Amino acid sequence: MKRYRSLLHRSSFMSAPHFDKYDAAPRQLAHTFSYVTPILLARIGLLLGFGWCLRAAADPSLNATYNMTRGVTELSHKVYNLHMTIFYICCAIGVIVFSLMFWTIIHHRKTRGKTPAQFHGSLKIEIIWTAIPVLILIAMAIPASKTLIAMEDTSRADMTVLITGSQWKWHYKYLEYPIEFYSLLATPRDQIENTSAKTELYLREVDKPLVLPTGKKIRFLVTAEDVIHSWWVPAFAIKKDANPGFINETWAKIDEPGTYHGQCAELCGKDHAFMPIVVEVKPPEDFDAWVNEQIALMERTKAEEAARGEMTMDELLALGQKTYESRCAVCHQTTGVGLPGAFPALKGSAMVTTDKAAHIHIVLFGKSGTAMQAFGKQLSASELAAVITYERNAWGNNTGELVQVNEINQMLSGELQ
């Protein structure tokens, strides 16, 4: 150890160099150690890294953390294979080039004492090492083109789902069935704010997942309400931008039932990280059963709301607070104070304490040109009535006013008052 350390100290690795002394006698082995050892370690590290990547690809649990998913459609398998193929090609080229570099660093160093060669170039070699990469690329381009053309062929679909992204949630509408709903992040705010422990599905859960059948060609129409979003489900190898005012198409035919997670993949503002996608894929019979269940549920809910009549102040405040915490607090804050310059305060606001009609209007129809969305189509009439009542009475606003479902319905249906 002592000898090694003294060698190290005598090497120029750890001391100031004497640049005009290169013509002196050949250096000791120390120089080789001082330069080679770290470089050697680095090279070995790189090769180990590559090797470990290869192992990771084979092991499913490692694969999930470190590699792209194989997915559950025929095309996602093809995409995965393209990915691994180009990765292996890159590894091979890397190993060849870096090995040559490593060799030359060890053997063609000044301390070995040889004079440097003075060759300037070689047209032959240049042509070879231009042509070979071109051929490799052509070989890659052929399967890639085939897969791409297949991915963009949306014809002859069995069903269609219209996906609309907005800040910061997804809306799904089945064109063949009378089913449509919003799908929002279901992770509670306090988990995000670190006041309670995070559950396993942290940021990967939604209140209403998209439900799809296996074995059918499903066409997705993708658009957006406000800014550009992007609908991405890695298990289907689908990522399609949702452009406001325009419609994009993509498709999938899913082979295996299960629950698949995705995320918005285009920066869309403050809560871009908080609009996940969850798709539940069921065998066709279960899917049909789900469809019927949903339709029945919709009828029941409509009937219940109609039969409910008026709610008491307590009922409105309870439902209102719950709705407020999950849908409004993210901008206007739990305390109702908002964010100056960005989101107005509701506590003590003129509109909230005096102008009930304007307050209802802005909650239902939003305010154009601002971040305030139209919640009329996002929440049920009861939730709307409740949240407006809550806002008018919380944080010391205390107007004592109530808003009932029939007021909301009248506003929403545009019946003259």
Euclidean distance between CA atoms 94 and 88, whole angstroms: 10
* Among 30, 70, 73, 147, contact with other proteins (rule: CB under 8 A): 147
**CB closer to other proteins out of 318 and 330:** 330
The piece of 154-162, 301-309, 348-356, 392-400 that touches other proteins (CB under 8 A) is 154-162
Q: Of 171, 177, 150, which is closest to residue 238 (Cα–Cα)?
A: 150
Q: Is 142 in the site for other proteins (CB under 8 A)?
A: no
Which ranges of 218-344 would DSSP assign to H, the alpha helix? 284-308, 313-323, 329-332
DSSP secondary structure, 325-358, as one string: IIIIHHHH-TTS--BTTTB---TT-HHHHT-HHH
* Among 1, 16, 142, 307, contact with other proteins (rule: CB under 8 A): 16
Euclidean distance between CA atoms 45 and 225, whole angstroms: 48
Q: Is 221 in the site for other proteins (CB under 8 A)?
A: yes
**CB closer to other proteins out of 63 and 286:** 63
Q: Which residue has the tokens 């009329």?
A: 376
Q: Is 193 in the site for other proteins (CB under 8 A)?
A: yes
* Among 3, 58, 142, 155, contact with other proteins (rule: CB under 8 A): 155
* Among 1, 25, 134, 142, contact with other proteins (rule: CB under 8 A): 134
The answer to whether the beta carbons of residues 262 and 281 sit under 8 Å apart is no
- Please give the residues from 283 up to 312 whose contact with other proteins meets the rule CB under 8 A: none
**CB closer to other proteins out of 3 and 156:** 156
Q: In angstroms, what CA-CA distances link 330 with 5, 153, 193, 213?
A: 60, 40, 11, 34
* Among 26, 38, 60, 348, contact with other proteins (rule: CB under 8 A): 38
Euclidean distance between CA atoms 14 and 185, whole angstroms: 55
For the beta carbon of residue 290, count every other beta carbon within 10 angstroms: 16
For the beta carbon of residue 382, count every other beta carbon within 10 angstroms: 21
The answer to whether the beta carbons of residues 154 and 250 sit under 8 Å apart is yes
- Please give the residues from 365 up to 404 whose contact with other proteins meets the rule CB under 8 A: 365-366, 368-369, 371, 373-374, 376
Q: Is 5 in the site for other proteins (CB under 8 A)?
A: no
Indicate the burial class of 312 (C-beta count within 10 angstroms; 0-12, 13-18, 19 or more): exposed
- Please give the residues from 324 up to 353 whose contact with other proteins meets the rule CB under 8 A: 340-342
Binding pattern for the stretch 223-262 against other proteins, x by CB under 8 A and - elsewhere: x-xxxx-x-x-x--xxxxx-xxxxxxx-----------x-
Euclidean distance between CA atoms 50 and 77, whole angstroms: 22
The number of residues that bind other proteins (CB under 8 A) is 142
Binding pattern for the stretch 43-62 against other proteins, x by CB under 8 A and - elsewhere: ---x--x-------------
The answer to whether the beta carbons of residues 187 and 207 sit under 8 Å apart is no
Report the greatest alpha carbon distance in the chain: 102
**CB closer to other proteins out of 86 and 318:** 86
Q: Of 259, 159, 157, 272, which is closest to residue 210 (Cα–Cα)?
A: 259
Phi, psi of 343 (to 5 degrees): -125, 125
User: Positive or negative, the Cα torsion across 362, 345, 328, 335?
Assistant: negative
- Please give the residues from 169 up to 188 whose contact with other proteins meets the rule CB under 8 A: 175
**CB closer to other proteins out of 151 and 254:** 151
* Among 101, 295, 303, 358, contact with other proteins (rule: CB under 8 A): 101
- Please give the residues from 109 up to 128 whose contact with other proteins meets the rule CB under 8 A: 109-112, 114-122, 125-126
Cβ at position 314, least distance to other proteins in Å: 30
- Please give the residues from 61 up to 90 whose contact with other proteins meets the rule CB under 8 A: 64-69, 75, 78-79, 82-83, 86-87, 90
The piece of 144-152, 206-214, 292-300, 395-403 that touches other proteins (CB under 8 A) is 144-152
